[in-house]
Amino acid sequence: MSSLDVSRGVCALVPGLQHWLENAFYMVRIVDAQSPRERDERRVLLATEIGHATHRDILINLIDGKPSLVPAANGLPARVAFNIEDMGFAFALIAELARPASVPAVGDAASTRLMTLAGRVARSDATVLIQGDTGTGKEGMARFLHAQSGRISRDFIAVNCAALPETMMEAMLFGHKKGSFTGAANASDGLFLAADGGTLFLDEIAELPLALQAKLLRALQEGEILPVGATHPVPVDVRIIAACNRDLAAEVAAGRFREDLYWRLNVMPLELRPLAERAGDVTAIAAAMLLRHQEFVWPTAAALEKLAAHVWPGNARELGNVLQRAIVLREGDRIDAEDLHIAGAPQLRVFDAQPAPAGTISLRDVARQSKLDAIRAALRETDGHRAAAARKLGISERTLRYRLAEMRELAAA
């Protein structure tokens, strides 16, 4: 958990900021603006407390006019000015300005609890299995685990198993000797050795063929790999973080994934919920995404309400696409609700995550239906071209095939 100092003056002016920051995975300390500090400490101060500020700090000002952000530059701290109506996004913006690069953007209390758990998991060397829909932030979580571990000084290597050519998967993962197959003009260490001493993130682990799963199991059990064409194994010290956007236990039951490998991977399971179930994260992620654009554009309160009401079948990837379109197509100097072109899912806000009573629709059912609607819309818009539809949805073509198979199963049920 990151620590952040907030001056007493700020807490008096906007008392809700402390609560937001605590939900955004910060340990908040209330300090006097003039109190001594460590060299690298960052503080949130009032604009009138600039005399006590460093270039790392964030100055805030509550005003009556339009909100503004002045990034830190030329030795001056960042400055955020906002009115009462824009206070919600201002809080998220302050949190993202202070957030370390290795920590994912969160603003939901449940997400903060998950991040706290992940921080404890990171300090061990155990294998981690992250499960969640496409776009829920699995790679971001994996990078956080690496950054919080004792392996931070070594490499973090990320590989999408669905993007590896099937004929080259083994050689790319485990390396190969020169001349071990046609075209192998030179030897290659492979991704396991590239991550030696560090972390290897295997995304979409369910896409690995069964034969290669057996070799991965041996690497996990014995701490050694056998490159293609080699006769002697090579020791490796790699922490494996695997991720899957499908229920891996269901893949085991269907015979598509080895049960022994599943239990070897599922030592420390982490499940990332759909964005529709993380209302507080929507604003936090939106702030983080908008800050990454060369031109920062402030959304209106109406725009934030529209974002909060959407189901997000494409999760954070869909949110990013919506914001990028809004920046380009907006009519004024701010992103308003009319600038948010959201398609493919109904506008819905569900506040109760408890099991739904008879005669109502649960959030999980709505989210599933929304995904199916998004797939149908993407296929219509691409005239049935699966590769183009997959790119539009932000998923692999192989994942799209699985989704279509699920749709056929539902239709036959």
Same domain, 18 and 47: yes
- The residues of the chain scoring below 70 in pLDDT are 176-187, 343-371, 383, 394, 396, 398-399, 402, 405-413
Same domain, 222 and 131: yes
0.75 surpassed by pTM: yes
Same domain, 119 and 251: yes
Structure confidence at residue 363 (pLDDT):
44
Q: Looking at 205, 239, 272, which one is the last position of a domain?
A: 272
Structure confidence at residue 186 (pLDDT):
66
**Which of 4, 128, 3, 111 minimizes the C-alpha distance to 57?**
4
Per the domain annotation, does 247 fall within a domain? yes
Beta strands per DSSP E along 138-208: 156-160, 199-203
Per the domain annotation, does 404 fall within a domain? yes
Per the domain annotation, does 135 fall within a domain? yes
Q: How many domains does the chain have?
A: 3
Same domain, 299 and 397: yes
Whole-number Cα distances in Å, 255 to 95, 97, 259: 45, 46, 9
C-beta atoms surrounding 296 within 10 Å? 15
**Segment 254-294, tens digit of pLDDT:** 999 999 999 999 999 999 999 988 888 999 999 999 999 88
Same domain, 190 and 313: no
How far apart (Å, rounded) are the C-alpha atoms in residues 8 and 82?
19
Structure confidence at residue 347 (pLDDT):
42
Structure confidence at residue 291 (pLDDT):
94
Q: Which two tokens stand for residue 291?
A: 């800050």
Same domain, 299 and 400: yes
Q: Looking at 99, 119, 138, which one is the last position of a domain?
A: 99
φ/ψ region of 315 (left if φ > 0, alpha if ψ in -120 to 50, else beta) reads left
Residue 95 belongs to domain spanning: 1-99
**Segment 372-411, tens digit of pLDDT:** 777 777 777 776 777 777 777 767 676 677 677 666 655 5
> Do the beta carbons of residue 388 and residue 397 sit within 8 Å?
no
Per the domain annotation, does 194 fall within a domain? yes
Structure confidence at residue 358 (pLDDT):
43
C-beta atoms surrounding 27 within 10 Å? 11
Same domain, 92 and 184: no
Q: Which amino acid belongs to residue 362?
A: S
CATH code for the domain of 151: 3.40.50.300
Per the domain annotation, does 304 fall within a domain? yes
Same domain, 134 and 204: yes
DSSP 311-377: --TTHHHHHHHHHHHHHHH-SSSSB-GGG----SS-B------SPPPTTS--HHHHHHHHHHHHHHH
Same domain, 48 and 76: yes
How far apart (Å, rounded) are the C-alpha atoms in residues 288 and 304?
14
CATH code for the domain of 9: 3.40.50
